[in-house]
Every structure is written in C-alpha cells, then in structure tokens.
C-alpha cells in the first residue's frame, strides 16, 4: 500500500477489497481504506454498480441489489486499524477537487458529489466514481472521476466482452467527457438503443433472455434466430451428432458455417451486416494460429478469418494453386490442394 | 441447464388445460418425466391412454431425452417389449429447440403416421408393408383395449 509522506493512503481503492475478497491483504498495493467499503442491502447483496448510474440492463435478473449507495465517511472517533486511517487523505482531496473542476458534469446523476463544510461531513455517492476507478487502477483518480454521458454505464458492456470496434474501450476508461466527440456519443447512444431493444430476446436453447443472462448473442450466418453465444457454441461442439445437423440452426435447420458474437441483436439486415463486417475486420488483425506466419498450414486456406501474414510482413495471396508437370505429363499441385483454391473463395 | 427444465415444468403445468391429449407430469425429479398421451382419434389407438417415460439426459437440451412407452402398444416404430421409440428427432435429427412438450406432440403424431419402413415391431411393420391395413388396425385396436383402456387418473 502506498503511503504519502504523512502516512496517509494515496493509492487508488482496491477493487477486490470493495467486493470483500482481496487476497493480497496488507501487501496489496491498492487502498484498503474502509471508507471504500460497500453497503449491502437487507439480503446481504452487494449493490449493483450499474444501477448507480441508472443503466443496469439486467433488471430483475440482476444478481446485485438495486439501490443507490449513499456513503458517509466513518466517524473519526471510531477506532480503526492503523493501516486503514479513516481520515481525509490527499487522494480524497483530489476527488473533491475533481468534482469542483468538472462543472459540466453537474446535473449528471452519476456524479453528484456534495462538498460539506468540514471534511468529516463529506457525503458522496461512492459507487459512481468507483466504476471508473476499478476498471483501470492505473488511471488516475481525476480521470476516473469524470462520468459517462446519460448516466449510463458502458463499463458494463465493456466487461461483457464488447469489442472495441463497437465502442473504443480506451475512451471508456479515460471516460472524460471533453475527450468524447459527438460521433462517439452518437455511437454510444445507438449502442444503448440497440441493447435496450434486445433485452426481451430469448435464447432458443436455454430459453432465458440473453441480456438478462449477461451473455452475448450468437448470430447465425444463415438465419435470424436468437441464441446465446455460449448456448449455440456448445450446441455446435456436440460430438455425437453429424456435422450437418449441428451446423444447422436448431430452429429452422438452416446451415451456417460460422457464429458471430454480438452484444445486441440486430434489428435489420443492415445492422447484422455491420456486426459481421466489424467482427471479420477484428479477426483479420489476429494472426492465424494454424498458418503460424507461414510455418504451418491452415485448413481453412484463403477463406480463413484470421490473418495469414508471413514473417517478412507480406500477406498470403489468394490465387491459383501452384502447379507442376509430373513425369507422366500430368498437372499436379505443389503442396496440398484446398477446396478454397478450386472454388476460388 | 436445469433452468430450462424448470421453465418447461412451469409451462407444462400451464398448458395442462389447453392440450387435453398430452399431460406432462414430473414428480420430485426434474430429470424424470411421465407423459400421459391420449390415442389420436381416427386411429386404432383412439380411446387408449398411453404412459410414456421421458428420461432427460444430463446435458439436455444438447442431447435428446430418452422416450420409452410404459404402456404396451402395437405400432411399427415402437418396440413391443421394451417400449423404445424409433423417431428421428429423438436420435439424429434432435435439436435443442425441441421441448419435452413438442417431443410428446411428435410422438402423438407418430401414432397416427406410422413409418413402416424402419420398424422396431416387425409384425406391425410387415402388416402395413403388405397393405394389410385392416389386419394392422384390428391388432392395434385389440392391444389398445387390452393394455391402454384404463383411463388416466385425475
């Protein structure tokens, strides 16, 4: 734990300590200050951090309690372990300054710091700024203190595996409103709409709502039926069935060769196309494990979704297979001939 | 996946009124279900009450439930002694979109549309394959009277 010269705790709060499960104990380099501890509801459920900003899409299915955390600093008279000095600290002052500095954030429900006259009376809604901090402990508290637009938590979706093509993850963490362009805001608003429109969609396999299950949608190439990514992947990996049976949609038996993960269910073909395109674009940046920079051989050939780049930086070219004339005067391919070579895919 | 079974249990309880010919029940164990099917009218099984045991596999719905007739039945695609059902959706054509309720519906449909070319009960299959519909009907009706005529308790 970092200490300033005055012995005060300046480290950012430990996100595991806040959840009551930090294994590092006193060796943890993040703050275990008790003032960061969460309140719990009557059932002992921890508060939902997304509810704090008004943006939990899980609704009743959320495993966390939906109430707004109002946290008072523990009274200074209370005895506490030496390591956890419940006194206003340097870091604390920074939060206060941050709230004063960012005037533009006023009125935003996510960040309502009210500064009392004395430090001990300082009341604030902890969770809102903790969201920012816990997502990236390296971020300094000033940045983390700034809030997200519309009181909506995008960190939720970022954690659920939202890809950076849909939302630039770095802009979530930085989160500062002045850094966001109108385009970013519009993108976020659209994404929120799309997710909200998908909340009632039920998976055809587990029959639960996909958003409520905190899962992603698994879109099929050939049809528009709704499945969780995990469910449809599990079904497609069942070994006892024939390939064509498990590759087909469980509902309409339309064969699909790949599943596209998505955080929302596209409302029309246009949206679906853009999801597919951004997914493929993302994969194309990842080197193919089979191809292994030219050292291995990819069974998917040139139709592989992943990048086929040689060590020297050149991309594998799709084209005619290299042929040679054998001793008998017949043509034969050099190396293995793949179906994609013949079909020209 | 027991979430899904629980959901199916609730739905089965609700649809009890709607579908008179299929009664899906489950006691204590969600992995052991009993379906009480009424023989479809216009078939030799009309008036019969058939008990079918549905054993749900652990990885349901990725794997089909095992269906077995407890009541004896004379039908080309149902084994006369073991009660095993020969139905593609219970084997190769299974998909997780089927529910226990829809499996029962498929079994009822099988009762009215026998597939004589892949028989588990060769006697029944041979009768149908040789176009002895009258013989098949009378045999099936006799066994329905003999084994399936006790109406289901309510």
**CATH number of the domain bearing residue A232:** 3.30.40.10
- What are the chain A neighbours of B62 within 8 Å (beta carbons)? 234-235, 238
Half-sphere exposure of B9 (CA within 13 A, CB side): 15
What is the residue range of A327's domain? Answer: 287-344
Say how many domains are in chain A.
Answer: 3
Number of H-type helices and E-type strands within chain A? 12, 6
Q: Which residue of A has its CA nearest to B1?
A: A206
Facing B7 at nearest CB: one of A207, A241, A250:
A207
**Token pair listed for A271:** 């949206």
User: Which are the catalytic amino acids of B?
Assistant: 86
Domain annotation covers residue A143? no
What are the backbone angles phi and psi of residue A94, rounded to the nearest 5°? Answer: -60, -45
Q: In the structure encoding, which two tokens stand for residue A129, read together?
A: 């700024």
Do A240 and B63 lie within an 8 Å CB cutoff?
A: yes
The total of other beta-carbon atoms located within 10 Å of residue A10's CB is 17
Mean pLDDT computed over every residue of chain A = 66
Least-confidence region, from A53-57, A132-136, A206-210, B53-57: A132-136
The residue that leads in pLDDT, A243 or A35, is: A243
Q: What is the pLDDT of residue A36?
A: 66
What pLDDT is stored for residue A162 in this prediction? 44
pLDDT > 80? residue B116? yes
DSSP character at residue A292: G
Whether pLDDT at B137 is above 90? yes
Fold category of B2-147 in CATH = Ubiquitin Conjugating Enzyme (3.10.110)
Q: Are residues A231 and A253 in the same domain?
A: yes
Chain position carrying tokens 């709502």: A209
- Find the helix or strand (DSSP H, E) in which B101 lies: helix B100-112
Are A247 and A292 within 8 A, CB to CB? no
Residue in A240, A241, A250 closest to B97 by CB: A250
Minimum-distance CB partner of A205 among B61, B92, B94? B61
Give the span between the Cα atoms of A53 and A252, in whole angstroms: 40
- The whole-number pLDDT of residue B110 equals 93
Q: Is residue A193 part of a domain?
A: no
Q: According to the model, what pLDDT value does residue B25 have? A: 86
Contacts of B92 in chain A (CB under 8 A): 241-242, 245
Each residue's pLDDT tens digit, A269-299: 888 899 999 998 988 888 888 888 888 878 7
Considering the domain architecture, whether residues A322 and A261 belong to the same structural domain is answered as no
**CA–CA distance, A126 with A121 (Å, rounded to integer):** 14
List B26's β-bridge partners, or say none.
B33
Residue with tokens 């309880």: B13
Is A291 domain-assigned?
Answer: yes
Residues A230 and A293 in one domain: no
Q: What share of chain B is helix, strand, coil (3-state, %, to 5)?
A: 35, 20, 50
| Partners of A324 in the β-ladder | A332
Q: Compare CB distances from B62 to A207, A235, A242 and report the shortest one's residue.
A: A235
Tokens of A93: 């002052």
Nearest to B98 by CA among A98, A252, A31: A252
In this prediction, residue A91 carries a pLDDT of 40
User: CB distance A251–B95 less than 8 Å?
Assistant: yes
Q: Does one domain contain both A315 and A270?
A: no
**Element (H or E) spanning B75, and its range?**
none
- Supply the pLDDT for residue B134: 92
- Rounded to 5°, the CA angle A87-A91-A92 comes to 55
- Cβ distance A8 to A85 under 8 Å? yes
- Residue whose tokens read 């990842």: A286
The span from the CA of A109 to the CA of A298, in Å, is 52
Give residue A23's pLDDT band: very low, low, confident or very high (50, 70, 90).
confident
Domain ranges of chain B: 2-147
Q: What is the ipTM of this complex?
A: 0.77
Query: Band of the pLDDT at B109, cuts 50, 70, 90?
Result: very high
- With an 8 Å Cβ cutoff, are A250 and B95 in contact? yes
Q: Which of A285, A311, A327 is the last residue of a domain?
A: A285
Q: What integer pLDDT is reported at residue A40 of this predicted model?
A: 56
What are the structure tokens assigned to A207, written together?
A: 């029959």
Residue in chain B lying closest to A249 (CA): B95
| The pLDDT of residue A96 is above 70 | no
Chain B positions touching A204 (Cβ under 8 A) are 96-97
Contact residues on chain A for B4, CB-CB shorter than 8 A: 205-208
pLDDT at B10 over 50: yes
């Amino acid at each position: 734990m970092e200490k300033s010269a005055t012995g005060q705790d300046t480290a950012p709060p430990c996100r595991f300590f806040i959840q009551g499960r930090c294994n590092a104990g006193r060796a943890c380099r993040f703050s275990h200050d008790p003032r960061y501890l969460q309140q719990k509801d009557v059932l002992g459920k921890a508060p939902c951090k997304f509810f704090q900003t008004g943006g939990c899409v899980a609704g009743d299915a959320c495993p966390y309690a939906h109430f707004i955390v109002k946290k008072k600093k523990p009274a200074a008279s209370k005895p506490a372990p030496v390591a956890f000095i419940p006194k206003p600290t340097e870091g604390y002052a920074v939060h206060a300054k941050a709230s004063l500095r960012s005037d533009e954030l006023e009125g935003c429900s996510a960040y309502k710091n009210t500064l009392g006259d004395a430090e001990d009376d300082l009341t604030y809604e902890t969770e809102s700024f903790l969201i920012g901090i816990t997502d990236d402990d390296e971020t300094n508290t000033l940045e983390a203190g700034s809030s997200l637009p519309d009181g909506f938590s995008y960190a939720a979706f970022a954690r659920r595996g939202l890809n950076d093509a849909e939302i630039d993850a770095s802009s979530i963490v930085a989160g500062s409103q002045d850094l966001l362009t109108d385009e970013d805001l519009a993108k976020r608003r659209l994404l929120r709409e799309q997710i909200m429109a998908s909340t009632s969609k039920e998976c055809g396999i587990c029959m639960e709502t996909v958003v409520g299950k905190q899962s992603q949608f698994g879109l099929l190439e050939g049809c528009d039926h709704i499945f969780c990514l995990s469910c449809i992947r599990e079904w497609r990996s069942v070994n006892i069935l024939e390939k064509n049976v498990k590759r087909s949609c469980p509902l309409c038996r339309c064969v699909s060769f790949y599943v596209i993960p998505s955080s929302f269910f596209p409302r029309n073909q246009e949206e679906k196309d853009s999801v597919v395109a951004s997914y493929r674009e993302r994969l194309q940046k990842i080197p193919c494990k089979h191809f292994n920079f030219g050292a291995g051989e990819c069974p998917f050939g040139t139709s592989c979704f992943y990048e086929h780049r040689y060590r020297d930086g050149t991309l594998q070219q799709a084209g005619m297979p290299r042929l040679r004339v054998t001793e008998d005067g017949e043509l034969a391919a050099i190396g293995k001939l793949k179906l994609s070579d013949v079909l020209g895919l | 996946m027991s979430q899904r079974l629980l959901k199916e249990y609730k739905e089965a309880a609700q649809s009890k009124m709607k579908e008179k010919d299929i009664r899906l029940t489950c006691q204590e164990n969600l992995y052991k279900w009993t379906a009480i099917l009424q023989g479809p009218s216009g078939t030799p099984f009309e008036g019969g009450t058939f008990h079918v045991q549905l054993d749900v596999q652990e990885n349901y719905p990725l794997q089909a439930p095992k269906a077995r007739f407890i009541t004896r039945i004379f039908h080309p695609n149902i084994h006369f002694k073991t009660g095993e059902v020969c139905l593609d959706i219970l084997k190769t054509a299974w998909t997780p979109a089927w529910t226990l309720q829809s499996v029962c519906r498929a079994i009822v449909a099988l009762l009215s549309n026998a597939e004589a070319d892949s028989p588990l009960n060769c006697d029944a299959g041979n009768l149908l394959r040789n176009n002895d519909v009258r013989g098949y009907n009378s045999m099936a009706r006799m066994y329905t009277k003999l084994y399936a005529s006790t109406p289901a308790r309510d």
